Amino acid sequence: MTPDLSRLMTEIGRREFLGAGTAGLAGSVALRSLLADDSAAAIPPAGDSGIAPADPLAEKKPHFAPRAKQLIYLHMVGAPSQLELFDHKPVLSQYDGQPCPAELLEGQRFAFLKANPTLMGPRFGFSQHGESGASLSELLPHLARQADDLAIVRSLKTEEFNHGPAQVFMMTGFGRQGRPSLGSWLTYGLGSPSRNLPAFVVLVTGKQPGGGSSLWGSGFLPSVYQGVQFRTKGEPVLFVTNPRGIDPPARRRMLDDLGALNRLQLEQTGDPEIATRIASYELAYRMQTAVPDLMDVSGEPKHIQELYGIESGKPGFASNCLLARRLIERGVRCVQLYDQGWDHHGNIATSLPKKCREIDQPVAALLQDLKQRGLLKDTLVVWGGEFGRTPMLQGSAGPKAGRDHHKDAFTVWMAGGGVRPGQTIGRTDELGYHIVEDAVHVNDFHATLLQLMGLEHTRLTWRYQGRDFRLTDVGGNVVRKLLG
Amino acid sequence: MDSGCHFAFAADSPGAGSRRRRNMMLVLLSLCGSGLLQQAVADDRPPAAQSAAGKPAEAQSAALFKEQIYPLLLRKCAACHGEESQEGRLRLDARSTTLAGGISGPAVVTGKPEASLLYQRILGDGDLDRMPLDEEPLTAAQIEVVRRWIELGAVWPRDIGPEVTAPRKHWAFIPPKQPAVPEVKQTSWPHNRIDHFLLARMEQAGMAPSPRAGREQLIRRASLHLTGLPPSLAEIDDFLSDDQPGAFARVVDRLLASPRYGERWAVPWLDAARYADSNGYQRDGRREAWPWRDWVVAALNADMPFDQFTIEQIAGDLLPGATLLQRVATGFHRNTMANVEAGTDPEEEHVLAILDRVNTTGTVWLGLSLECASCHNHKYDPISQREYYRLYAFFSGTEKEIETNGTERDFIGPKLQVPLSREQQQQRDHLQAELKQKQAERTRLLATLDEQQRNWEQNLQLPGERMARVFRRGDFLNPGEAVRPGTPAVLPPFPAEAPATRLGLARWLVDPANPLVARVIVNRQWAALFGQGLVRTPEDFGIQGERPTHPELLDWLAVDFVRSGWCLKRLHRQMVLSAAWQQSSRITPELRKQDPTNRLLARMQRLRLPAELVRDHVLAVSGLLSQRMEGPPVFPYQPDGVWNHIGRASNLWPASTGTEKWRRGLYVNWRRTVPYPSFVNFDAPTREQCTVQRSQSSTPLQALTLMNDPAYMEAAVALAARLLNELPAEASDADRVQQGFRLATGRQPSAVEMRILVNRVQVERTEYAEDPQRAELLVKDFPVTGGHAPLALAPWVHVASVLLNLDETITRN
């Protein structure tokens, strides 16, 4: 046997080569002539090219010691009412049914409200919880038990008041598509600890959010930093499943051949891109095992499934919360959960409790579960929507009333990952209309998230069209009160 | 020294609060302390008012300048407004440039501090950012000295500071002149002038070009670059056996004449034009914009001169006697997104659309990021906010994009009814042919067609003069000064006699005097063919952009492009026939060391195919590709549930049947919020906004797509069937492997490659024989088996899939 051939054997596996190959080999005239060609190169063994694959997702050093290493961002698509959930306004109750003071309406734009809207008091009760005495709605009984883990920000404000643009603003710091998303900035800045799952994973419950894939897009950053949507119906990751008729051993054989052939090409051309591609096939192969393993929650004990309130086998927000924990456990840098259905222009009295029932228990369980596994200290959990809702009612007064979009004041909360827990910051006026204390612009909020993750927001930049862009655009002040 | 006037003035000055009055006191102390007013330096102006101290005000001003102002300007301002950098086109270390001012106007109004921008900006009054930007503000004392200096006459003695008359002009704003072609030592290498420029640079750096690529590689490279499709085996063989001179040029000319050329070159233009088949945002409903896409393909195939290509797309509707096709061409700027979610304001959407038109025009034609200037004067480039809105004014006066009945919103256009009858189609085809001939004839024919179209036509431009307001801080609810259409002062003037319309703008863009357009366009063609532009920031030719690697070559090409009639095919031919483009792409260790990012182009760049062409290539190799052109978008295989939107827009993916599903990627339906998954995985943009450079990545999702996407599996099955069909039954495994390898890579396999694959087919044959059901499953879903039995086909499907996944297969070597 020629030295070439022996090396080839190690490469493609002795069993296969001796098993079926030789007879056919000898039978081919064309091949005989090729075999006689002494100049033919041997297959370079794996890892022998001297050219390292470029890995844009290699872990990078943060700017300073991070408080949080991973992020779970829970986005309630449609914008939940802060006035029913976090920002209790007893005075608003007193004015229930009365016309909104004209000075509040001056110069304001609304998506739907017409002239002379009336105020509407909170439709649900509030009470104090935990040692911190956080004021929380009766609609969030499970979360109330984690009250001391939360840092509630009642004074967020944004610049967009329609869903699509506001979601894009919330996720990219800019009201139009084209900028990199929060998760993309994070993976660009920090790389990925996971070697067999994407760095940035997105799970959507219900319909697609209006901002579209730009919410997890990489904008002008290289596309390797874009979020990968995991689906809960059909294949979890598009095309992760082998075609029928290609079993795992067959896939492995295919990859071995591909690797060998690509390495030959690498040796021929010296192009490091080929090394990167070879590595990407190996990562794909690992993903083919890692993804089903991630998605298969049957191994989770019953009490855990019950903790999250998962109805067995049913995909939904609860099971996505459990998946979020599993993704964090596996080293995924950024996990985003979107939950559709919070746009309560009407029927807030019936629709909001229903939505809260869907998310309250799983979100609380996620915090609890992360905590009991020691993951919460390194994982920043964020909950919020794209804007808030107006103190004025929309539609007709009575059981069918709802609230319009409100960009000037809304609530988000954070937990874990170096956040100072057990506090509520920011205050709105008595009607919950304007912020009167500790206003936090979306840019400030982003600056704070990056700070918690060990990144200085003015230093996390990418030059595009002559400008060093950043997530916080030209704004952003870290909200120090939120740092633990 | 009497300081009374200071106090008097300060007390009178409008808006001066107690803070400023306190400042006065501080200044007073510092002035007294320095005693500098005694050291007046005479300027060449006639003496004017005397101050109460008996000194001419000018003398005081001059003294202040020398002692305090000039050092202050150098220390605090010159970093951004000095010799090296002139942000806002303002240079503050020299007399004349300071007096002339920057894009916002003169910096100083003599005697009137409150009216002087210099003073306003250090105060940070009003809407404008305080200067120095992002630095500590000037102290109250320093501010007061500036105020005082201006008030006393703003005297800048001529002997202070460098003598410069204008800020240095950024290279890209100076019109290109065609430079002399440089001499080279290795005279045998150059094929054309491009090579002279490149080789001269290499020789300077002590480098030599790479050898010419092999012929198999060359024809594949040319085919993939020029048409986006691989050469057929017969085409390869013809080229290999053509030993007459000019063989490669003949291949190139054949490719340039192929209708596939327009389909391939449309792709980057569609990115630039943010073309999609949907509106974007929440509902992301269907939009019928594809006639414009077909117009682009036809125009590129007809080699429409780029100046005309520009004029028709920006203002086709305004051309005298505009034809239907010319109106269709204006679809370029109707590709803006439209948010029809309940609650949007049609006026705001309209403003956003126009802003996008201005920004896109800036990026696509001028290579400038105008967007910055929508909220404030551009920080780096000499574009003022006012100038931005003068450009905006050209695009104003068009119909709104969405309408509302109070509760629901709909995308309404502006729309153009395009007849699709067979008759019309034939006329269009006919026209395309005519386009290739004479201009005059073309115009006449279009006019004839135009006659027939009048019934469908609709005025796209509303009557009335075009005006715009400067939106303060970019907020359309905060309109300021009204402006007329106009172009930035740093660029050649807008002709006085030209109409202040989009048509005037379009003609101004492609006027040979424009320093940017030809360079920007040539650069993008270069980037497409060489992998990187001569300017490596194709989206930014401004001050922050990269300098060209070969400035003379860029200018030479730009001038040549315009002189020869803005002909893209000629330009592509020129580039492809250069010796540089035909170099081997091998990266030797020396080259990697000497020039790791290939700035000097001493080798060719290996380039992965763009997303759509990955698809086209696989379909071509497998023999499935449909060559049908034009028409509504197609819906090839896509997994269920990818479309999952709210609202009235359908989530039904109406899967194409028959050969429609095998049409080129260019024709695949493009929904902005969820573009076709395999395209997303291969770095396609969302087309939500203008893109002139795609990123290039190698990711596991790409691997998964090529291995498992049923569309690609189907191609593997078809390729397997092709290998069984096209070779005689008695052909050996090696013969078939050889054929497959050539189809996929365009070259003969090496001995080792051959052994690996022949071994593979034989091993898989045994494997499948042991488990025939697996073979059945493999091919069951794909009715492209050519009637071959699963067991015969399966091992070849396996090999075909390997071939289609090779790095080389999806790469232009």
pLDDT tens for each residue of B286-322 = 998 999 999 999 999 999 999 999 999 999 999 999 9
Q: What is the mean pLDDT of residues B101-117?
A: 84
The domain in which residue B729 lies consists of: 710-812
Under an 8 A CB cutoff, do A277 and B645 touch?
no
Q: Do residue A207 and residue A245 come from a single domain?
A: no
Q: Do residue B140 and residue B204 come from a single domain?
A: no
Q: What is the mean pLDDT of residues A339-367?
A: 96
Number of structural domains in chain B: 3
| Summary mean pLDDT of chain A | 88
Domain termination residue (choose one: B603, B626, B649): B603
Q: What was the pLDDT predicted at B564?
A: 95
Q: What is the pLDDT of residues A195-239, one digit of tens each?
A: 899 999 999 999 889 888 899 999 999 888 999 999 988 899 999
Residue B466 has pLDDT above 60, yes or no: yes
Residue A37 has pLDDT above 90, yes or no: no
Share of chain A above pLDDT 70, in %: 89
How many CB atoms lie under 10 A from the CB of residue B778?
A: 26
Mutate to test the interface with B, among A25, A465, A470, A473 (most CBs of B within 10 A): A465
Domain termination residue (choose one: B569, B586, B603): B603
In a domain, B295, yes or no: no
Q: Please give the Cα distance from A201 to A199 (Å, whole number).
A: 7
ipTM over 0.95: no
Q: Do residue A456 and residue A363 come from a single domain?
A: yes
Distance from the Cα of B331 to chain A's closest Cα (Å) equals: 21
Q: Do residue B19 and residue B162 come from a single domain?
A: yes
Under an 8 A CB cutoff, do B280 and A212 touch?
yes
Q: Please give the Cα distance from A164 to B671 (Å, whole number).
A: 15
Q: Do residue A388 and residue A472 come from a single domain?
A: yes
Buried b (16+ CB within 10 A) or exposed e, B78-114: bebbbeeebbbbbbbbbbebbebbbbbebbbbbbebb
Q: What was the pLDDT predicted at B426?
A: 65
Q: What is the pLDDT of residues A387-400, one digit of tens each?
A: 999 999 998 888 89
Query: Could you tell me if B95 and B156 are in contact, meaning their C-beta atoms sit under 8 angstroms apart?
Result: yes
Q: What is the pLDDT of residues B174-198, one digit of tens each?
A: 999 999 999 999 999 999 999 999 9
Under an 8 A CB cutoff, do B763 and A253 touch?
yes
Share of chain B above pLDDT 70, in %: 86
The answer to whether residue A254 neighbours chain B at the CB level (below 8 Å) is yes
In a domain, A48, yes or no: no
The domain in which residue A296 lies consists of: 240-304
Query: Could you tell me if B739 and B621 are in contact, meaning their C-beta atoms sit under 8 angstroms apart?
Result: no
Band (B16; pLDDT cuts 50, 70, 90): very low
In a domain, A346, yes or no: yes
In a domain, B251, yes or no: yes
Q: Which one of B341, B689, B805 has the shortest CB-CB distance to A210? A: B341
Query: Could you tell me if A337 and A72 are in contact, meaning their C-beta atoms sit under 8 angstroms apart?
Result: yes
Query: Could you tell me if B252 and B225 are in contact, meaning their C-beta atoms sit under 8 angstroms apart?
Result: no
Band (A19; pLDDT cuts 50, 70, 90): very low
In a domain, A47, yes or no: no
How many CB atoms lie under 10 A from the CB of residue B465?
A: 11
In a domain, B52, yes or no: yes
Q: Do residue B209 and residue B251 come from a single domain?
A: yes
In a domain, A56, yes or no: no
Beta-carbon contacts of B475 under 8 Å, excluding residues fewer than 6 positions away, are none
The answer to whether residue B699 neighbours chain A at the CB level (below 8 Å) is yes
Band (A466; pLDDT cuts 50, 70, 90): confident
Q: Do residue A152 and residue A248 come from a single domain?
A: no
Query: Could you tell me if A161 and A407 are in contact, meaning their C-beta atoms sit under 8 angstroms apart?
Result: yes
Q: What is the mean pLDDT of residues B14-35?
A: 36
In a domain, A310, yes or no: no
Q: Do residue B110 and residue B211 come from a single domain?
A: no
Q: Which one of B644, B753, B805 has the shortest CB-CB distance to A207? A: B644
Mutate to test the interface with B, among A113, A197, A246, A286 (most CBs of B within 10 A): A246
Q: Do residue B123 and residue B12 come from a single domain?
A: yes
Nearest to B268 by CA among B641, B538, B78: B538
Angle at B464 between CA B458 and CA B468, to 5 degrees: 115
Q: Please give the Cα distance from B669 to B286 (Å, whole number).
A: 9
Residue B770 has pLDDT above 60, yes or no: yes
Q: What was the pLDDT predicted at A274?
A: 93
DSSP string across A102-170:
HHHHTT---SS--SS-BB---SS-EEEETTTTEEEETT-HHHHHTGGGEEEEEEEE-S--SHHHHHHHH
The answer to whether residue A402 neighbours chain B at the CB level (below 8 Å) is no
Q: Do residue A376 and residue A405 come from a single domain?
A: yes
In a domain, B152, yes or no: yes
Residue A23 has pLDDT above 70, yes or no: no
- Interface size A-B, in CB pairs within 8 Å, comes to 306
Residue A416 burial (C-beta neighbours within 10 Å; 0-12, 13-18, 19+): buried
Domain termination residue (choose one: B603, B638, B671): B603
Query: What is the CATH classification number for the domain harbouring A168?
Result: 3.40.720.10
Query: Could you tell me if A269 and B813 are in contact, meaning their C-beta atoms sit under 8 angstroms apart?
Result: yes
In a domain, B161, yes or no: yes
Q: Which one of B586, B704, B806 has the shortest CB-CB distance to A258? A: B806
Distance from the Cα of A231 to chain B's closest Cα (Å) equals: 9
Q: Do residue B571 and residue B718 come from a single domain?
A: no
Query: Could you tell me if B621 and B230 are in contact, meaning their C-beta atoms sit under 8 angstroms apart?
Result: yes
Q: What is the pLDDT of residues B68-84, one digit of tens each?
A: 888 888 888 888 888 77
Backbone angles phi, psi at B543, to 5 degrees: -60, -30
Q: Which one of A35, A111, A241 has the shortest CB-CB distance to B708? A: A241
Q: Do residue A77 and residue A186 come from a single domain?
A: yes
* More confident of the two residues B153 and B255: B255
Number of structural domains in chain A: 3
Q: What is the pLDDT of residues B242-289, one digit of tens each?
A: 999 999 999 999 999 999 999 999 999 999 999 999 999 888 889 989
Q: Do residue A464 and residue A327 come from a single domain?
A: yes
In a domain, B129, yes or no: yes
The answer to whether residue A464 neighbours chain B at the CB level (below 8 Å) is yes
Q: Do residue B156 and residue B217 come from a single domain?
A: no
Q: Do residue B136 and residue B203 come from a single domain?
A: no
Q: Which one of A34, A163, A237 has the shortest CB-CB distance to B751? A: A34
Q: What was the pLDDT predicted at A31?
A: 39
In a domain, B543, yes or no: yes
Q: What is the mean pLDDT of residues B763-771?
A: 96
Distance from the Cα of A406 to chain B's closest Cα (Å) equals: 12
Lowest mean pLDDT among A403-412, A458-467, B660-669, B699-708: A458-467
Residue B455 has pLDDT above 80, yes or no: no
DSSP string across B169-228:
PPGGGSPP--PPPPP-S-TTS-SSHHHHHHHHHHHHTT--PPPBPPHHHHHHHHHHHHHS
In a domain, A309, yes or no: no
Q: Do residue A166 and residue A277 come from a single domain?
A: no
Nearest to B99 by CA among B16, B155, B140, B41: B155
| Summary mean pLDDT of chain B | 86
Under an 8 A CB cutoff, do A212 and B759 touch?
no
Band (B11; pLDDT cuts 50, 70, 90): very low
Buried b (16+ CB within 10 A) or exposed e, A86-106: bbbbeebeebeeeebeeebbe
Residue B145 has pLDDT above 50, yes or no: yes
Lowest mean pLDDT among A12-26, A417-431, B148-162: A12-26
A positions 200-229 inside 8 Å of B (CB): 204, 207-208, 210-214, 217-218, 221-224, 228
Q: Do residue B115 and residue B203 come from a single domain?
A: no
Residue B794 has pLDDT above 90, yes or no: yes
Under an 8 A CB cutoff, do A280 and B702 touch?
yes
Q: Which one of A264, A276, A467 has the shortest CB-CB distance to B753? A: A264
Distance from the Cα of B716 to chain A's closest Cα (Å) equals: 11
Q: Which one of B369, B766, B780 has the shortest CB-CB distance to A19? A: B766
How many CB atoms lie under 10 A from the CB of residue B54?
A: 8
* More confident of the two residues B514 and B30: B514
Q: What was the pLDDT predicted at B3?
A: 33
Q: Do residue A227 and residue A244 come from a single domain?
A: no
Q: Do residue A245 and residue A225 come from a single domain?
A: no
Q: What is the pLDDT of residues B33-65, one digit of tens each?
A: 333 333 333 333 433 444 445 578 888 888 888
The answer to whether residue B537 neighbours chain A at the CB level (below 8 Å) is yes
In a domain, B20, yes or no: yes
Band (B420; pLDDT cuts 50, 70, 90): low
Q: Do residue A110 and residue A253 come from a single domain?
A: no
Under an 8 A CB cutoff, do B701 and A228 touch?
yes
Distance from the Cα of B737 to chain A's closest Cα (Å) equals: 10
* More confident of the two residues B487 and B1: B487
The answer to whether residue B281 neighbours chain A at the CB level (below 8 Å) is yes
In a domain, A60, yes or no: no
Query: Could you tell me if B369 and A187 are in contact, meaning their C-beta atoms sit under 8 angstroms apart?
Result: no
- Tokens standing for residue B351: 């403003």
Q: What is the mean pLDDT of residues B405-425?
A: 69
Q: Do residue A122 and residue A208 come from a single domain?
A: yes
How many CB atoms lie under 10 A from the CB of residue B22?
A: 10
> pTM for the full model?
0.83
Q: Please give the Cα distance from B668 to B612 (Å, whole number).
A: 9
Under an 8 A CB cutoff, do A466 and B680 touch?
no
